[in-house]
Structure 1
C-alpha cells in the first residue's frame, strides 16, 4: 500500500507545481527533485508491498518510505500556504532521507530480482495452491441455502428454447459459495446428460493462459498420452483454434472458476467462440463488471447471504458434537451459544463453515464457552481456511488507488450506513481521488466510479439507492469491516480508538507514525463526540478531515458550543452537522476547505457574512436552516461551487470575484453570470413575502437537484430551468397556479415532492405525454386540493405514488388505471371515506387494481374534527 500512498503524493506534488507556482517561488526546483525521487521508488515499493507479510525487514523499509512520502507532502503544503519556513532545509532533509533509504536496501536484506522478473512471492504461490479448485472435490458438509440458485443456473445452462445464453456467471463476495454452486451445477444429472463433454479450470489471480487452455482441452476430449503430447506441442494459436472447433462440434460445458480480471478473459477469449449456442461457459467471479463485459446478455447470479435459519442449519451440519452431551440442559446451553456465535457470521457461508469446523473439535460446554468469548479472533485466525485470507485476496487484487479508498471505510462504525456524497467528499479531502485529465469529469464523478468499482468487486454493499445519484448509502459487511480495520492498522493507515473499550479493534503495534484516528463511543456521556481525522501529531496541525457528532445536539453547553479551530489550516472537510454549535467565527482561516457542513439543530445560528470569503477551494456548502446574518453573505469564486444548501435567497455582486447573498432578497446578479458547476441547489426564501427565484435558477444550467422552501412569485418556465433537473422539492411555496402545467414538461424529472402548502389551488391536471421520466411523486399537505385529473399517457414511468394529508381530495384520478408501471401506492392520514373507495368493491378499485402494493396508514374519520388542529409539515425534508 505504500506504493499507492507515494503515487498519490507524486500526483499532489504535480498539482501544487501547476497551481501554486507563486507560493512555491524559490523552492520549485527542490519540489521537482522530490517528485522525481518519489517516482523512482514507486516500482520498488510495488514489489516491496508484496513481500511485507513475509519479511519484517521489508515491512520496516516500506513503513519508513511511507512516512517520508507523507512528510514530503506536509512540507510542500506548508510552503504553498505560506505558513512554513521559507528555508529550503525541509525539502532537502526529505531528499536525504529518500537517498539514505534507497542506499540501505541491502542493509534491510531486500532483493527484488525475482519480483521484478514477474515471479510470484512464496506466500502468494502458497495461497494460490490452497485456492486451487477441482470439479471432483465435493464439500464435506451438507450445502444449504443454494437450492433456488442451483435450479436457476441449471435451467440457464440446459433450457435452450428459453435460454440461449453463451455465458452464465455466478458473482458475489469471497466466501459466499460461488465455487460450491458451480460444482453442484457441473455435477447435476440434468447438466451431465445435456452436454456431451465437460471441463473445469480454476483461473485464480495468476492466470496462466496456456495452462488453462490445455486443461480445458484435456477435459473436453479425454485424450490418450500421445494426444496429450500433441496438445502440448501445439502453438498457442493452433491450440486456441482446436478448442474453438471442439466447442462448435459438440455440446460442451466449460467452467472457468475464480476468474478475476477482464484482462485475463481478453487473453482467454480466443479459445471460446461467443457465437455458438450449443456450448456453454459457466464462470465464477468476485467482479460483477467482469461478468457483464464477458457477455452483456448472459444471466448473472449474484449470491446472497444466508438467513439466520440457514446459517444455523449449516452450523449444525458441521458442528454436531454438541449432540453428544447427555445432559439436556447442557445441550440447550450449547444450542444458545451456537446461535449467538453464528449470528456474528452475518450470513457468510465461509464464516459459518470455519466456525463449525472449529466447534466440531470442541466436546464440552466449557470449550464452547471459550470459543464464544473469542469468536471474532478465532474466525480470523484460522490459517487453512481463514476468512482474512479469503478477503485479503480481494484486497490484494485492487489497484493501488482503490486500496486507499477501501481502507478509509474503516473509519466508520460497524453496521453504519455511509452517505455516499459525504464519503466521496472525504476521499477528495484526503487527496485519494486522482484527476483523470478530462475537463468534463469532476473529482466527484471519479469518486463515484471508485465506489462503483468497489461495489462491482463485491467489497462494498449498496445500502439505499437514489434514482438521481445512483448509490445513496453504502456499508461494509461486518467481517469485511473487521478485515478492513485490521489491514488499515497494520498498514499504519488508520488507528481506531473506542473510548468505551467495548470492542477490541487493536492489532499489533504499528510501525512508523500514526497519521489517522477514528474516535468513537462515549454513548453514556450527553456530550459524546465522534471524530474522523488525519494527523501527524497530537496537535493535529495537519488535520484534513474533521467530523464531529454528538448524541445530544440540543444540549446548550459544552466544549464545542463555540468552536475554535483557526490553527487547522489544512482542513479540507469539516462537518459540524447536528452538533448544536452556534458560532464558528474562527473558520475564516480555513482556506483549503472543500466541504463545509453547518446543518446544526439550533434555530438561531450566528453566521458572519465574510466567513467564506477566503475559501477559494469551496465546492460543497451546507448552511443551517435559519441563520443570523448581518449584511451580505460573501462567497469565494463561484466557479467551483457544486452544492449550495439552505442558501438565503439570492446571489448578487459577483464582480469582485465574491458572490453575495442579500438577506433582503434584492437581486443584483448580472444577467450573464452562471454557476456552471452547481449541481445541487436548495434555497430558503423569506417567510413574510414572495420572491422571484427565476434569475437564481436560470443561472444554474447544470443542476439536477433543486429545493425551493418558502413563498415564491411563480415557477420559472420549463425552458428556464436546467434540462438535467432530476429531483425537485417544493415546500411552502404557496403557488396559486397549477404547477403541473410547467413541471410536466421537464424531460428528465424523476422525483417530485410537493410539500406543505406548495400549491394552494383546488384542481390539478397532468396532461398526456407529461412527466415522461417521473418515477416517484409525493403529494403532502396540499390541503386545498379537491380534484386531480390524469390523462391517459401521462406519467408512463411512475413507479411510486404517495398521497398524505390531502384531506379535500375526493378520489384518486381516473387516469391511474393507465399508469401501468405503478408498483406502489401509499395513502397516509387520509379520510376513511377516501380510503374506502380504494378497497375491493369500492368505487375507485378499478383504477388501482393493477398496482402490486397498496399501503394505507393512519386512516382518519371526519368526526374527529381534524380541522381544529394546526397544520404542520409531516416531515422535515432532508437538508
Structure 2
C-alpha cells in the first residue's frame, strides 16, 4: 500500500530533520514542507488504497490507482534523496592536517554544489507532492476508518453456517472435544476459543457443535452472534436478546421496554437480568478486536451454573485476552491431514458422479491439486466444487493446476478465497504489513530461520525502537503477532522461541500479488519471461542473475539470490555500481568465490550474508560499511577476520564458522572451524552475537577485549585453554545480557575450568565441549538455564545428581564421552520441566534408571550409539507424556527386544505414539535407514523417504544453529 511507502519515508524524515537541521541548510525548509504534506496525505491513504484495490472500480488505473502509484513513487524518491544525502555526509573528510585541509577545501566546492542540488531536488519533490494532494480532492478522498469486510465474507460465512453433514470432513475429534468442554466440567463460566487462520473451518466446526443435540439439551438458552470486523456492542446485545426470546418461544420484551432506544449500559443490565438463573451458551463468531472480551464480559456474566461462551477468531491474542477474567479452553484448529484433504476433495469434485470416487486417470493430478491446498478446507472445497463442473479430462485439470495462483485471482468461483484470506492482511498495521510481505522474497515452501528473518527486517528499517527493548526483541514481538494472527506458521523450540517459520502457499500468492502491485518486491524464477517494469524496491532472483542486471538501480534496497548456478563478474560489479543504496545483500548458498574489492562502496548495507559460499577472504574495504549490522559467514572458507572490521561500530551479529561434514565427528576433534579475530575487537560495542572465535589466537588479550562487549547475548569460543579461565570469567561478568555461551577446548584432553553462576546468572543456553574434572561450580544455580549440552566431559560421577533440581532445564544433551560411568539415575520428582533428552556415544553406559514420578514432562527421547546398552530402559513405561522415541545405531539385541512382533520388551514402549529405529548405512557419515515400529499413521510417510539424512548437528540448536545447515 502507499501507506507503507509514505510511512517509511516519514520515519526517516523525522530523525533527519531533528538531527541534521544545520547540515541540510537550504533544503531543510523544503523537507519540512514535504513532511507536513505527507502527514496530511497519510490521513487519506486508507481510503485511497481501499478504493484502489476494489474490483471493477469506476476510477481505474487512470484514476485512484494512478494517484496511489504517483504518491508511492514520490515517497520512494524522497527516501532515495535522503539516503543519497546520508552517503554524502559519510564521505565528508574528517582527518586533520594540511593535506586534510586541502581535501576539505576541494570538498567544500562539491559540498556547495550538492547542497544546491539537494535543495533543488527537495523543491521538485515538494511541488510534486503538492500536486498529488490537489489531485486527491478530485477523487473525493476522505479520512475513514477501516472498511467493513462483513459484506465480502458474507457468502462464504453463510455457506459455513448451513453446510451439510456430508460435506464436513476431519473435524470429528475437534467436535467431540469442544462438546465435552461445553457440557462437562466446572460450574464457573468458561470461554472456549477456536483459533486458526482464515479458511480452516472455524465457523463450520463451531456451528456443528452449537447444533449438537447434546449441547442443545444441556443449556436453557442459546445465541449465535456473528461479529466480524464491523460491529457495535449495542447491536450484538440486542441480537442476543432477540435470539434468547426466540429460542425459548417467549413473549417479546414488554412494550414499555424499547431495546432500540437503550444505551449500552441498559442493554448489559437487560442481558444480565435475563441470564441470571439460566445455564446459557453464546457463540461469538469471527472476532477480530482484541478488546472484544472486555466489551462483552459484563453482559455474559458468571452465574455459576456452568454457562459457556464460545468464540472463533483468527487471532491468538483475542483468545488470550479472555484469560484475564475467565477460565479458557483453547482449541488451535489445524489444517486437514493429507488423508482427510483427499476425502474432502473427492466429496466435492465427484459428489454427483462417480459416487465420490476419483477415476484413476485423474488421480495423480488431483493429488497434486490437493497438496497445493495444504490442508485448507476452504480452498479444497472451492477447487473441488469448480472441478465438479468441468469435464473429467486430465489435460484440462492439469492446466488449472499449473495456473492455480492466477485462478484464485481471476476465477469468480475461487476469488472469494483470496478475499477471505485478504481480510487478515488488511487488518494489519502498516509496519506488520511490510514484515508479512517480506515472506514473498523467499521461495514457495521455504522454511525461514527466525533469526535470519528478524535481522533482515531490522536491516530494512521495518522495526521501530521501543524503550527498554532491543530491536531484536521488538522484531520477535512482530513475528509473534503474525503467528498469533494465524498468518504465519511456526516451528517452536522447547523454550517457546520460534525456530523457523513460513506462510501457507495461498497466503504467499496473496503476498506476491500485493508486493508486485505496490512495487514492494519481486521474486523472479526461471519461468518468469517478462522483464521487470518500473521501480522494484526489493529483488529476489531464482534464475540467471545476468538476465536482471538491467533491473538493478539506486532504488534497489534488497537483493537475494536463491539456487542460482552462476554469478558472473559482470553481475557482481553491477551490484556495487548500480545499487549504491542497498541495505540487504543475501548471497547464501550462491556459487560465489570472491567478494568484490569495492564492496565498501555500499555504505547503506546493513545485512550481508555470504553463508555457504566458497569465499576465503574478506576485502579490507569491508571496514567502510559503517552501517553494517549483520555479517553471516557460516560455512565459508574464511578463517581470518580482517582488523578493518573493528571499525564497524553498528555491527550487531558476526557469525563465522565452518563444519566439516566429510570427517567422522567421533574420530576428529577439529571438525568445527572457527575464525581468528584481529585487532581491538573491544571496539565492536554493539555486538550481540559473536561466533565462533578461536581463543588461542590473541589469547588473554583477546578474552580481555571481550569484556568490553557488554551487549553480547550469544558468545561461542573454540580452542579454549585452561589457563584462560580466570580472564574469561572476568570478561563475561561484564556481559549482563549474555543468554547463550558455547565453549570448546583446544583438544579433548584440555580441561574447561571456570565458575559460572557469579558470571552469568541469566544464562539460558550452555554448551561445553571438553574435559570437565567436575561440573562447573554453581551450575545448579543457573535458574534460567533451558538447554545444556555436554560433550567430551569424561565425567566419572553421575551428573544427574547435580542437574536434577535445575528449575527450568528443558533440554539435556550428553554425547561423545560426556559421561564415562555405567549408569544414569533419574530420580523421583526430579527434572520436572525436562522436555527433551539426548544421550549419544556414551561408550560405558549400560543402564538408565527412571523412577516413577521422574521426568513428568518429557516428550522426546533419543538414544544413539550406546554400545553397552542391551536392554531398553524399563522406566520408559513411567513416562506417560512421551511422544517421540528414537533408537539410533543401538545394539541389535535391544532393537529386537522392542519389535512389535515377538519382542519381549515391546510392552515397555507401546504407549509411546511415535517410535522408530535408525541405522547408519553406506559410506556417508550421516546417512541412515529408518524403520518405524509404530507411529499412529506416519509409517506411510516415512516409507516414502526410504533412506533419510540425519544430521548430528540437529543437536546444536543454540547459538551456532548448525542444524539449520542441513535444512
Structure-2-length-normalised TM-score: 0.76
Query: In the alignment, which residue of structure 2 is the partner of 1:168?
Result: 192
Query: In the alignment, which residue of structure 1 is the partner of 2:405?
Result: 376
Give the direction of change, closer, same or farther, for the CA distance of 1:478–1:105 in structure 2 (3 Å limit). same
Task: List aligned pairs for 1:68-87, cutoff 5 A.
Answer: 68-75=77-84, 77-78=86-87, 81-82=90-91, 86=111, 87=114
Q: Say whether the 8 Å CA contact 1:175–1:348 is kept in structure 2.
A: yes
Q: Deviations over 1:491-538 (max 9, x none)?
A: 21111111x21x79x8x976x621101112569975589xx99x9997
Matched, 1:183 2:207: yes
CA distance in 2, matches of 1:591, 1:459: 35
Q: Deviations over 1:126-169 (max 9, x none)?
A: 53665674997456983322333333333333x24578653323
Give the direction of change, closer, same or farther, for the CA distance of 1:690–1:32 in structure 2 (3 Å limit). farther
CA distance in 1, matches of 2:605, 2:253: 69
1:390 paired residue among 400, 416, 420? 420
CA distance in 2, matches of 1:57, 1:228: 56
Query: In the alignment, which residue of structure 2 is the partner of 1:516?
Result: 538
Matched, 1:642 2:688: yes
Q: Quote the offset at 1:616 in angstroms.
A: 1.6
Q: Say whether the 8 Å CA contact 2:692–2:718 is kept in structure 1.
A: no
Task: List aligned pairs for 1:591-602, cutoff 5 A.
Answer: 591-600=626-635, 602=637
Gaps of 5+ in 1: 553-557, 861-872
Q: Say whether the 8 Å CA contact 1:169–1:298 is kept in structure 2.
A: yes
Matched, 1:654 2:693: no
CA distance in 2, matches of 1:745, 1:537: 56
Give the secondary-structure state (helix, strand or coil) at the position aligned to 2:236: helix
Q: Quote the offset at 1:309 in angstroms.
A: 3.9
CA distance in 2, matches of 1:538, 1:386: 45
Task: List aligned pairs for 1:129-140, cutoff 5 A.
Answer: 133=158, 137-138=162-163
Gaps of 5+ in 2: 55-63, 94-109, 545-561, 659-671, 922-949, 963-967
CA distance in 2, matches of 1:831, 1:656: 47
Query: In the alignment, which residue of structure 2 is the partner of 1:866?
Result: none
CA distance in 1, matches of 2:595, 2:303: 68
Cα RMSD of the aligned pairs, angstroms, is 4.5
Query: In the alignment, which residue of structure 2 is the partner of 1:301?
Result: 331
Query: In the alignment, which residue of structure 2 is the partner of 1:481?
Result: 508
Query: In the alignment, which residue of structure 1 is the partner of 2:45?
Result: 45
Q: Quote the offset at 1:596 in angstroms.
A: 1.8
Q: Quote the offset at 1:244 in angstroms.
A: 2.1
CA distance in 2, matches of 1:254, 1:566: 63
Q: Quote the offset at 1:727 in angstroms.
A: 1.6
CA distance in 1, matches of 2:905, 2:353: 59
Give the direction of change, closer, same or farther, for the CA distance of 1:805–1:27 in structure 2 (3 Å limit). farther
Once structures 1 and 2 are overlaid, which stretch shifts more, 731-740 or 606-615? 731-740
CA distance in 2, matches of 1:339, 1:822: 33
Query: In the alignment, which residue of structure 1 is the partner of 2:449?
Result: 419
CA distance in 1, matches of 2:354, 2:906: 60
Query: In the alignment, which residue of structure 1 is the partner of 2:3?
Result: 3
1:571 paired residue among 605, 612, 618? 605
CA distance in 2, matches of 1:422, 1:497: 21
Give the secondary-structure state (helix, strand or coil) at the position aligned to 1:613: helix
Query: In the alignment, which residue of structure 1 is the partner of 2:669?
Result: none
Query: In the alignment, which residue of structure 2 is the partner of 1:143?
Result: 168
CA distance in 2, matches of 1:674, 1:238: 60
Matched, 1:875 2:902: no
Q: Quote the offset at 1:50 in angstroms.
A: 3.0
Give the secondary-structure state (helix, strand or coil) at the position aligned to 1:435: coil
Give the direction of change, closer, same or farther, for the CA distance of 1:34–1:118 in structure 2 (3 Å limit). closer
Q: Quote the offset at 1:751 in angstroms.
A: 1.5
Query: In the alignment, which residue of structure 1 is the partner of 2:552?
Result: none
Give the direction of change, closer, same or farther, for the CA distance of 1:145–1:771 in structure 2 (3 Å limit). closer
Report the number of matched residues.
843
Matched, 1:436 2:436: no
CA distance in 1, matches of 2:351, 2:447: 38
Q: Say whether the 8 Å CA contact 1:643–1:681 is kept in structure 2.
A: no
CA distance in 1, matches of 2:377, 2:682: 53
Task: List aligned pairs for 1:737-776, cutoff 5 A.
Answer: 739-744=799-804, 746-760=806-820, 771-776=831-836
Q: Say whether the 8 Å CA contact 1:248–1:278 is kept in structure 2.
A: no
CA distance in 1, matches of 2:853, 2:165: 58
Give the direction of change, closer, same or farther, for the CA distance of 1:25–1:106 in structure 2 (3 Å limit). closer
Give the secondary-structure state (helix, strand or coil) at the position aligned to 1:549: coil
Q: Say whether the 8 Å CA contact 2:888–2:917 is kept in structure 1.
A: yes
Matched, 1:615 2:654: no
CA distance in 1, matches of 2:824, 2:911: 23
Task: List aligned pairs for 1:527-606, cutoff 5 A.
Answer: 527=566, 539-550=578-589, 559-560=593-594, 565-586=599-620, 587-600=622-635, 602=637, 605-606=638-639
Once structures 1 and 2 are overlaid, which stretch shifts more, 228-237 or 593-602? 228-237
1:727 paired residue among 787, 796, 804? 787
CA distance in 2, matches of 1:703, 1:297: 34
Matched, 1:245 2:273: yes
CA distance in 2, matches of 1:348, 1:664: 52
2:372 paired residue among 344, 347, 352? 344
CA distance in 1, matches of 2:501, 2:305: 38
Task: List aligned pairs for 1:292-371, cutoff 5 A.
Answer: 292-295=320-323, 297-320=327-350, 323=353, 332-334=360-362, 336-363=364-391, 365=393, 367-368=396-397, 370-371=399-400
Query: In the alignment, which residue of structure 2 is the partner of 1:401?
Result: 431
1:57 paired residue among 40, 43, 66? 66
Task: List aligned pairs for 1:673-822, cutoff 5 A.
Answer: 674-687=734-747, 690=750, 692=752, 694=754, 699-711=759-771, 715-718=775-778, 722-735=782-795, 739-744=799-804, 746-760=806-820, 771-785=831-845, 795=855, 797-809=857-869, 821-822=881-882
CA distance in 2, matches of 1:324, 1:692: 71
Q: Quote the offset at 1:305 in angstroms.
A: 2.0
Give the secondary-structure state (helix, strand or coil) at the position aligned to 1:242: helix
Give the direction of change, closer, same or farther, for the CA distance of 1:811–1:178 in structure 2 (3 Å limit). closer
Query: In the alignment, which residue of structure 2 is the partner of 1:255?
Result: 283
Query: In the alignment, which residue of structure 2 is the partner of 1:272?
Result: 300
Q: Deviations over 1:755-794 (max 9, x none)?
A: 2233445565666766453322222112234566667776
CA distance in 2, matches of 1:697, 1:572: 35
Give the secondary-structure state (helix, strand or coil) at the position aligned to 1:371: helix
Q: Say whether the 8 Å CA contact 1:581–1:600 is kept in structure 2.
A: no
Give the secondary-structure state (helix, strand or coil) at the position aligned to 2:737: coil
CA distance in 2, matches of 1:23, 1:695: 52
